[in-house]
A and B are shown apart, each in its own frame.
Chain A
Amino acid sequence: MNDMDTDARTDAEPPARSERDLSNAADMIVCEEICKWYGDFQALEGVSATIKEQEVVVVLGPSGSGKSTWIRCINRLEQHQEGRIVVDGVELTNDLRNIEKVRSEVGMVFQQFNLFPHLKVRDNVSLAPIWVRKKPKAEAEEQAQALLELVGIPEQADKFPGQLSGGQQQRVAIARALAMEPKIMLFDEPTSALDPEMIKEVLDVMKNLALSGMTMMVVTHEMGFAKEVADRIIFMEEGQIVEVGTPEHFFTNPTEDRTKLFLSQILA
């Protein structure tokens, strides 16, 4: 993408993430008391949070705590039943036009990649720009090639997803999401299905994306990534937000007992 000048940013000394002042930045995602049930089971019990423009938020928590459900509510892959979700000034309701608008501004990366296996890598990336943004095919393919370069696999454009390694597939998935030029990127456990040696190549791409100023919400178990890149960490358990804070606060002196227990199990 032309407007994303990553090289210039990586050369300069990046400011310590948590010291950035984002108080004047615009609200990108506003969640107010959202609740969601699956039958009798309540997955989200009144989750409220505001995510600012350019902010990188990492959501941590044990499995089954509602992290994925929450992030999937933000682009309406799941419907919340109570509360409000406003994404870049557009409220998510049953209005199909609003849902379309939000989805075309929010990119999503899944745990299982979900690449389209019948399309070449290049077509995976250029499909949505061509059919949703109505871009000329030549232009969309040029953009796809540039994005594949950005995620470090320009030579794989003519292969099919089944011919790539897991790490390469996930990087294609990131390029596919970026092709819609989203304002927000959601990551739902992007490295959980990867072999250890492939995790780094995906995290590097995500780091560069964060440095370029993308608003990001990341559900992950990668503590190193959380420490290094996050502006804020949100800790969830049983459908509720337990603790919110900067990485320093969260990893060095958490206030809640449940957070301490979680960290002791993770870092043991």
Chain B
Amino acid sequence: MTAPTNQASSTHEAVSQRVPLWRDAVVVKWMTQVTLLTLVLATLWFLASQAGDNLSARDIDIGFDFLERPPDIQLSEGIDTHPATGGRALWVGMVNTLRMAGAGIIFATLLGVVVGLSRLSNNWLIQRLGTIWVETLRNVPLLVQIIFYSSVLSTLPRVGLDTGPINGWLHISNKGLSIPRIFIADGFYQWAVVVLLGAIGARYVHKRRVHLHNETGANTSPILWALGTIVVFAIVGLFIHPAFSFIGPIMGAIAGLLDSLPVILPQVVLSAAAIFFAARWIRGFLADRRSAVGHLALSDDDYFRIIFAATAALIAVAILSMWSGFSSWLINSGTDLFEVIEDKFNADGAARPFDAMRPDIVKPGKFANYGTSGLTITIGFAAVFFGVVFYTSAFIGEIVRGGILAVPKGQIEAASAVGLSRAQSLRHIVLPQAFRIILPPLGNQYLNLTKNTSLAIAVGYSDIVQVGQTVYNQTGKTLPVVAIWMLFYLACSLTISVIVNYYNVRLKLVER
């Protein structure tokens, strides 16, 4: 009886003894991971130190101090045309890029959907127009298009001579389009609180109307009711907003409280949070890996993940405890934030939420231009905007068309067979399914559009690239500026990716 057992165990031992280290799957796997990581870190270290040596040998300064210095730059447009520091100038450029990308994404989507639907139309003329639009715009380089729009718009009459159809209210010239501007005034923030209350009320009204629709089947137009609620609050708010100036002192008290906090507090709280979240993640991970009967099987990768999570938390704690400057910066910015809010609410009781101004024309030197009173769309903005919107709309149109065609024919037949009209079938059956197909390539187009706005440099629109180039031409700090560009575009792209992926996961069809 014992003989076979002995034999079996000895065979087992023999097998485990016979495997040399370089053939042991577990050892090989760990060694590869560690070696690769070491190699990557070593390469990065080598490149960085080489670059540093070369730069210092050639006496090139890669410091970021230019961000704090006055840049002696004038920008053609933006939230601040005479920035006080290099950092401020770059910030204005970023805002201009974001403004262009945001407006471009919205309008390119709307136009692209129209183009895509028109190419599917039964109407011969509309279908042809859609085809011509797509084939023309996607086959001409975007840079050429932007320069074309810019040169066409530059043929408009000169500013100040013949300034548009409704003189004083609307100006169209070779400097762009300028219309009256409505801007927020001192009472705005108090009024915004009333509108916020209106939004909460609107949510409740919406719920009630939907409920009523489900009960009776009558058309209760919940969205119209909700919008109406907000509008009513907004109008009433114009008269009662001074009542909300009491928020100011409250914010001031919070600011004072924050200011009196000891520096150690954020350090302790954040360290505890880092450890807490790491521990919670590890616990959840272990629970996830445990089978229904409680058996826990961890692969080498799993161990690696757990070690990584724990190490990350410990590194965070180490950094926090050594770097007290970060902690005091947190406290100071929190204090500043609430002081700013306090300031916004401490408006005079008679302050209006809004004010409006007519466009003006100024002549600082030899040449006339629009002043800051009106809302101005410059030729540069218009050229880049038309460029990216038209160009991207051609691609989005094709994506929309493809997505709709990809919905199986049987779906449309089934929708007709149960009596849905063409419009109902489009709304409830075709578009929801097409949207799931369209979304990933649509996200790619958003990324492309955002990156393509950098072509603004061709027509002098003050986006981040144009401003950055001016800054490094004056300061010689090419590498730091390029690094800022790259980080900025990376942040934009990752944000768009995260949003698109979120919806992509949420809309996934449930399969078995």
Contact = CB atoms under 8 A, between A and B. Distances in A.
Do A and B pair up? The answer is: yes
B509 A103 contact: no
A106 B415 CA distance: 13
B510 A162 contact: yes
A30 B273 CA distance: 76
Given A131-B428, A162-B511, A177-B417, A116 B411 contact: yes
A163 B511 contact: yes
B413 A77 contact: yes
Between B414, B416, B432, the greatest number of chain A beta carbons within 10 A of the residue's beta carbon is seen for: B414
Interface stretch (A55-63, A107-115, A148-156): A107-115
B324 interface: no
A162 B509 contact: yes
Contacts of A77: 413, 416-417
B509 A75 contact: no
A128 interface: yes
B214 A176 contact: no
Interface stretch (A79-87, A132-140, A194-202, A249-257): A132-140
Interface in B376-430: 408, 410-411, 413-421, 424, 428-429
Given A118-B436, A139-B217, A162-B509, A128 B413 contact: no
A180 interface: yes
Given A112-B410, A114-B413, A118-B436, A135 B217 contact: yes
B139 interface: no
Contact of B429 (A112, A116, A135, A179): A116
B503 to A, nearest CB: 14
A117 B509 contact: yes
A162 to B, nearest CB: 4
B99 interface: no
A100 B433 contact: no
A215 interface: no
Contacts of A107: 417-418
Interface size class of A (residues with CB under 8 A): 35 or more
Contacts of B510: 159-160, 162-163
Nearest to B422: A96
A106 B417 CA distance: 8
A180 B512 CA distance: 28
A132 B425 CA distance: 11
Given A110-B414, A160-B510, A103 B217 contact: no
Nearest to B219: A134
Contact of A134 (B217, B418, B420, B509): B217
A116 B410 CA distance: 10
A240 interface: no
A136 B419 contact: no
Contacts of A130: 217
B206 to A, nearest CB: 15
A216 interface: no
Interface in B118-164: none
B512 A163 contact: yes
Given A114-B413, A127-B428, A162-B509, A137 B217 contact: yes
Contacts of B408: 114
B509 A100 contact: no
A180 B420 CA distance: 11
A179 B418 CA distance: 9
A192 to B, nearest CB: 14
Contact of A114 (B216, B411, B428, B432): B411
Interface in B180-230: 213-217
Nearest to B427: A131
Nearest to A112: B410
A136 B419 CA distance: 17
B254 to A, nearest CB: 45
A241 B418 CA distance: 28
Given A136-B214, A137-B217, A138-B215, A104 B410 contact: no
A136 B220 CA distance: 12
A235 B410 CA distance: 26
B504 to A, nearest CB: 14
A128 to B, nearest CB: 4
Contact of B419 (A104, A114, A139, A173): A104
B416 A103 contact: yes
A137 B214 contact: yes
A132 B419 contact: yes
Given A116-B429, A134-B217, A162-B509, A180 B419 contact: yes
Contacts of A127: 418, 420, 428
Interface string A161-194: 0110000000001001101100000000000000
Contact of A103 (B216, B419, B428): B419
Contact of B509 (A131, A160, A177): A160
Nearest to B509: A117
B208 to A, nearest CB: 15
Contacts of A139: 217
B414 A116 contact: yes
Contacts of B215: 136, 138
Between A107, A138, A176, the greatest number of chain B beta carbons within 10 A of the residue's beta carbon is seen for: A138
11 contacts: A77-B413, A77-B417, A110-B410, A112-B410, A114-B408, A114-B410, A132-B420, A136-B213, A139-B217, A159-B510, A179-B418
Given A159-B510, A177-B418, 19 more contacts: A103-B416, A103-B417, A106-B417, A107-B418, A114-B410, A116-B414, A117-B509, A118-B436, A118-B509, A127-B428, A131-B420, A132-B418, A134-B217, A136-B216, A137-B213, A138-B214, A162-B510, A162-B511, A177-B417
9 shortest A-B CB distances, which residue pairs? A136-B217, A114-B414, A128-B418, A104-B419, A162-B511, A160-B510, A114-B410, A137-B214, A108-B417
